[in-house]
Amino acid sequence: MLTERQRMILTAIVDDYIRSAEPVGSRSISKRGDVGYSPATIRNEMADLEELGFLEQPHTSAGRIPSHKGYRYYVDHLAPLNLISPDEFKMMRAFFAEKLNAIEQVIQHAATILSHMTNYTSILLGPEVFHTSLRHFQLLPLNETTAVAIIVTSTGQVENKTVSIPSGLSVSEMEKVVNLLNRKLTGVPIYKLKTALYNEIGQEMQRHVEHFEELMSVLEEALDKDQDGQRLFLSGTTNMLNQPEFRDVDKVKSILDLFEETPTLLRMMTSASASSGIQVRIGTENDHEAFANCSLITATYAIEGEAVGTIGILGPTRMEYARVIGILDILSKDLSRFLSRMH
C-alpha cells in the first residue's frame, strides 16, 4: 500500500511524463505548487517507488519514468476525472445532431472524431459482428469433389464459398447434415458459428454420420467467414508516428503492420467487448507483443441495452488516461442512445 505522499509523487511524475515525454527529476516535482516537499524527500520517495516497481530509470537519465505497474496504479487509483472542454463537448454533441442514416456511417464518423480529439488511433468494432446471425445454410455439389457452401445471414447478405468434398460422401448424407445444421444453428450469431458447430451438433453428427471427421472440417471451412475490413473501423493510424517514443521505426512498423491484420485486431476488440464499462489494458497486458509499449482503452456501446460493439483508443503507455477515459465514456453512452433511436 502506498503512502499518501508516495501517491502524490507518483501522480505528479505520471502527469509530468504524459505531458513532456521526458524523464522526471525530483527538482521539477518539488517546484510544483501542489507537492510541497523538498527535492531530497522526493528523491527518497522516488527511490522507494522504483524499488516497489512503480517507476523505472532510463539508463541515460537521472529522472524516472512510470513503469507499466505505475500506470496501472495511476489508472486504478489516482487518475483525476479530466473534464472535457465545453468546445469539445459541443463537437461531440454536434456529431449526433447530424443526419446519418447508416450504422456504418455513424461508426466511421465516430472513429474519426475520436482520433481527432485524442491524437491517438481509434479502433471501432462495428455492430454487425455481434448482430448478424445465420438465416440459412446450403451445400450444393458441383461435382464429385467440390461443392458450393451458401450462407444467408439475417441481414440478407449471401456468401458463397467453394469447398472440397471428402471421397465416398453421399448426397443423402450431405443433405442430412445440412438439415441438422439449419435446424440447430439458425439464429446463432455468425461469429459464434464455429464454436456452436461443435457444441450444438457435433455429438449428434458423430452418432448418425459415417464421415464425421471429414464433414466437420468441410463445415468448418464453409462457416469460416472472411473477416473483411468492413467490420473494423480505424482512424488516425499514423498518429503513432507523432509520438516521441515511436521515433524508432521498427517499433512503429510492427504496430502499423498489425493494423493491416484485421483478424488479430478483431480478436483483441471482441475479447475487450466481453466486459462492460471502460477497460484499460496497459503495455504487456495487451494480447499482442506489437502493443507491448501501447495502452488500449475500450468501452462497449449498446442498442436497446444489448452490447453490440466496442470503441477503443490505442496510444503509447504515456497516454492521457483521464482525458481519454472521459471522452470514451461520453461517446459510448451517446453512441448507444443514438443507435437505439436509429434501430
Range of the domain at 321: 86-129+229-342
Which residue among 172, 202, 223 closes a domain? 223
User: Same domain, yes or no, for 57 and 143?
Assistant: no
User: Same domain, yes or no, for 238 and 333?
Assistant: yes
The secondary structure of 154-209 as a DSSP string is TTS-EEEEEEEPPTT--HHHHHHHHHHHHHHHTT-BGGGHHHHIIIIIIHHHHHH-
> 175-204, pLDDT tens digit by residue?
888 888 898 888 887 767 777 888 877 777
Which residue among 223, 254, 279 closes a domain? 223
The answer to whether 295 touches 281, Cβ cutoff 8 Å, is: yes
Q: Note the pTM of the prediction, 2 decimals.
A: 0.71
The residue with cell 484499460 is 280
Number of domain units in the chain: 3
Q: What is the CATH number of the domain that holds 266?
A: 3.30.450.40
User: Same domain, yes or no, for 122 and 271?
Assistant: yes
User: Same domain, yes or no, for 71 and 213?
Assistant: no
User: Same domain, yes or no, for 97 and 242?
Assistant: yes
User: Same domain, yes or no, for 121 and 259?
Assistant: yes
User: Same domain, yes or no, for 124 and 137?
Assistant: no
User: Same domain, yes or no, for 244 and 330?
Assistant: yes
Residue 49, amino acid: L
Q: What is the CATH number of the domain that holds 58?
A: 1.10.10.10
User: Same domain, yes or no, for 256 and 112?
Assistant: yes
State the cell numbers at 78. Answer: 489516482
Which residue among 202, 223, 244 closes a domain? 223
User: Same domain, yes or no, for 124 and 235?
Assistant: yes
> 67-77, pLDDT tens digit by residue?
999 999 999 99
Dist CA 222 CA 319 (whole Å): 42
User: Same domain, yes or no, for 171 and 121?
Assistant: no
Report the phi/psi class of residue 121: left, alpha or beta, with left for phi > 0 and alpha for psi in -120 to 50. beta
User: Same domain, yes or no, for 34 and 19?
Assistant: yes
Q: What is the CATH number of the domain that holds 214?
A: 3.30.390.60
Dist CA 70 CA 77 (whole Å): 10
Q: Which of 75, 82, 19, 115 is nearest to 315 (CA)?
A: 115
H-state helical runs in the chain:
4-20, 26-30, 39-51, 68-73, 86-97, 103-118, 128-131, 171-185, 193-196, 203-208, 212-223, 249-260, 262-272, 321-342
pLDDT in tens, the chain (343 residues): 899 999 999 999 999 999 999 999 999 998 887 778 899 999 999 999 999 999 999 877 779 999 999 999 999 997 777 668 888 888 888 877 776 666 777 888 889 999 999 999 999 987 665 567 888 988 888 888 888 888 888 877 788 888 888 777 777 888 888 888 898 888 887 767 777 888 877 777 777 667 677 777 778 877 765 544 347 889 998 888 888 888 887 878 888 888 888 778 887 887 776 677 899 999 989 888 888 889 999 998 887 777 778 899 999 999 999 999 999 999 999 888 887 776 5
